[in-house]
Amino acid sequence: MIDTALVLAILVSALRTATPLIFAALGELVVEKSGCVNLGVEGMMLVGAVAGFAIGLTTGNFALAFLVGALAGAALSLVYGVLVLFLMVNQYAAGLALTILGGGASAFWGQRWQGQNMRGLQPVEMPGLSQLPVVGSVFTRLDIMVYVALAAAALIAWALLRTRLGLVLRAVGENHDSAHALGFSVIRVRFAAIAFGGAMAGIGGAYLSCVITPLWIEGMTAGRGWIAVALVVFATWKPGRVVLGAWLFGLVSVMQIHGQGLGLAVPSHILAMLPYLVTILVLVLISRDATRIRLAAPGSLGKAFRPTA
Amino acid sequence: MPLRLVPRLAPSRLALYGAPLLAVAATVVFGYVLFLAIGRDPLTALHAYFIAPVNSRFGLSEWLLTALPLTLIGLGLAVGFRANVWNIGAEGQLLLGAIGGGAVALALWREGVPGTFLLVCIAGALAGMAWAAIPAFLRTRFNANEILTSLMLIYVADQLLGYLVHGALRNPQGFGFPESRLFSAEAIMPNLLSGTRLHVGWLLVPLAVLAMWFLMSRTVTGFRLQVSGEAAGAAAYAGFSQKRMVWLSFLLTGGLAGVVGAMEVAGPVGQLLPEISPGYGFAAIIVAFLGRLSPVGVLLAAHLLALILIGGENVQMLGVPVAVAQLFQGVLLVALLASDVLVRYRVVRLGRLGRGSA
């Protein structure tokens, strides 16, 4: 018999583990809705992680830490923006370059804090929800950013479907030539989307270094940026499904920590493979139906846009 | 904006070969400014980075030794990239090569079979190919994006190696340290140059460059690869199988990365450790791009990237974080991609756009 306390503990860690993925994948979703694939999420998360950690450690002000993490991610994403939007660089290549650059830059500047830890962002008690029977204690053990991530998902879903801004973004992503002919600035919209994606990846990275494992280790994202990219495909470009997907990954990821408690006699190295194997599995399941992917993906995704006249 | 890009009718050959040089120059300038910014004398630091490590016979041999994996993997990737197949997981295929080769070396540990190292290399190649076959299969059978699957498999391979050196392949007399036995003498790559760590595996470098040149410019398969990458529609119309190109690209790179992994553990390392590669699989991506996807270009680019890797180790003496090597790699790739714009586009002032080109 598995006891309730363990189930609740797993739930709490799964929700926390999913949070950086939600931030990063939502950002990437907006970028892809504008028609660009940015494979540099891993790099942007890393610079966000090191910047957020530096601020959290020196000031203890986590609002500032997340802000600076977002700025760091956005700053790095500008490199991608310039390469892809102005210099017509292949999007895959530019994203890979960003991952390598972000990994190098974060490891270089983060050397002085390598392996240091700090007292991370503390949980808050959610009024109302924490009074619920059985599961109430979950809502005393989560930090504010878990809720912010969910609010962001709702806000982005609403903005994409119900606002003029969302409509313009989708128009640019679906058919950049038509959008251009209608008088929208494809470059400006995409640049803004890319910077937003960078900021969200930065926040996701800062969440890792400020909350989940409040410490800095180089390369600490360990592929989460890539999982975020996969999540967008998995979610067929829908914000709500990004959240569901991230929760699934959160649950799979924490098996490594809670495996023993659940009596799973599987070595920890094998459990640590699970998130990556599950990513591959869901990619296969979702990509099998090529038509479905083609219909769901933004029409101009991955294509270069060169303004004429 | 006062400047506009206008496509060229044919790629500029000057820019094609000039862009890598421009990118290298930009990286060195970046290094100069970076060292200045962190309070090191830039010229001393650049000397320590790019000259001192290779300023001796031993240093030169280490340079060749580091360029070996980069050349082999870079050649494989270049073939794939030409066919527009994005294998980003060479690092994982390398790790599997290390595991496969290492397993054979450990299995034959007390047999004393002469030439075991050859079996180690073959096992490494097969293991690397098997690992590369997974994303190839998932792409051709299920349409799954090979970038993401091959990348995910790096982390799986990393955990697999960790699992094995903590368990089945751990040295029974190793006091519980996560490492295998030292391989027997027969399993170690024979030395090529006394007083150095350079081994016979290096002979594969000229062989592979020649073979790749032959494949790409003298065979129908090379032509098909090229057409598939540059004009998928034309390739399909001509009846070239896209699936075969995916398989070929992955198996080739997987095999080369696997051999590299096996030679790494049977060469300088001599045993299985949890950490095998300083990111050869990723650096090789830059090698392929910087080398313009051509065999000789890859050879040259591999030696530059090898210099960046060794130099990073060397400037640690000056208190510069070793991560500077990865930072330089990133800057180099960004600079290269940025300079590449000159290959396909002319920069024209907006006012003059109207005549002839628009």
Domain boundaries, chain B: 71-305
Q: Please report, for chain A, how many H helices and E strands are present, in that order.
A: 13, 0
Domains in chain A, ordered, with CATH? 4-296 (1.10.3470)
**Closest C-alpha among B331, B288, B271, B289 to residue B70:** B288
Q: A182-195, pLDDT tens digit by residue? A: 888 899 999 999 99
Which residue type, as a one-letter code, is found at position A81? G
Angle between helices B146-166 and B242-264 (to 10 degrees): 30
Q: Could you tell me if B344 lies within 8 Å of chain A, comparing CB atoms?
A: yes
Q: How confident is the model at residue A110 (pLDDT cuts 50, 70, 90)?
A: very high
Is residue B212 a contact partner of residue B293, using CB atoms and an 8 Å limit? no
Query: What is the predicted pLDDT for the residue at A125?
Result: 87
A305 band by pLDDT with thresholds 50, 70 and 90: confident
Q: Is A237 left (phi over 0), alpha (psi -120 to 50) or beta?
A: left
The answer to whether the beta carbons of residues A195 and A81 sit under 8 Å apart is yes
Q: Is B330 close to A101, i.e. CB distance below 8 A?
A: yes
Question: CA dist B75 to A113, B90, B108, B281, B317, Å?
Answer: 38, 12, 31, 12, 33
Which helix H or strand E contains B4, and what residues bound it? strand B3-7
Rounded CA separation A110/A221 (Å) = 14
* A/B interface, count of CB pairs below 8 Å: 139
Q: Looking at chain B from residue 206 to 245, which residues have their Cβ under 8 Å from any Cβ of chain A?
A: none
**Mean pLDDT to the nearest integer, A106-116:** 90
Chain A residues with beta carbon closer than 8 angstroms to that of B148 = 226, 229-230, 233, 279-280, 283
For residues B182 and B188, give the distance between their C-alpha atoms in angstroms, rounded to a whole number: 10
CA angle B184, B190, B193 (to 5 degrees): 140
The closest CB to that of B143, out of A276, A290, A309, belongs to A290
DSSP A240-281: HHHHHHHHHHHHHHTHHHHTTTTT----HHHHHHHHHHHHHH
List the end-to-end C-alpha distance of chain A, in Å, as a whole number. 70
- In the prediction, which pLDDT does B74 show? 97
Of B154, B289, B338, the CB nearest to A87: B338
Question: For residues B81 and B293, is the Cβ–Cβ distance under 8 A?
Answer: yes
| The pair of three-digit structure tokens given for residue A28, joined into one six-digit string | 């990437």
Cα angle A130, A136, A141; round to 5: 75
pLDDT tens-place string over residues B162-180? 999 998 888 888 888 889 9
User: Which one-letter DSSP state was computed for residue B56?
Assistant: S
Taking a C-beta distance cutoff of 8 angstroms, is the pair B328, B308 a contact? yes
The ipTM is 0.92
Tell me the per-residue pLDDT of A235-264, one tens digit each, with 9 for 90 and over.
999 999 999 999 999 999 888 878 777 777
Count of alpha carbons within 13 angstroms of residue B150, beta-carbon side: 30
Residue percentage of chain B with pLDDT more than 90: 66
* Structure-token pair, residue A171: 């128009």
Nearest to B166 among A101, A269, A276 (CB): A269
In B, minimum Cα distance to A80 occurs at B334
Averaged pLDDT, A60-83: 96
* Residues in Cβ contact with B309 at an 8 Å cutoff, skipping those fewer than 6 apart: B66, B278, B283, B325
| Residue A257: how many other CB atoms lie within 10 Å | 15
Q: Are A226 and B151 in contact (CB under 8 A)?
A: yes
DSSP annotation of B269 reads I
Average pLDDT, chain A: 91
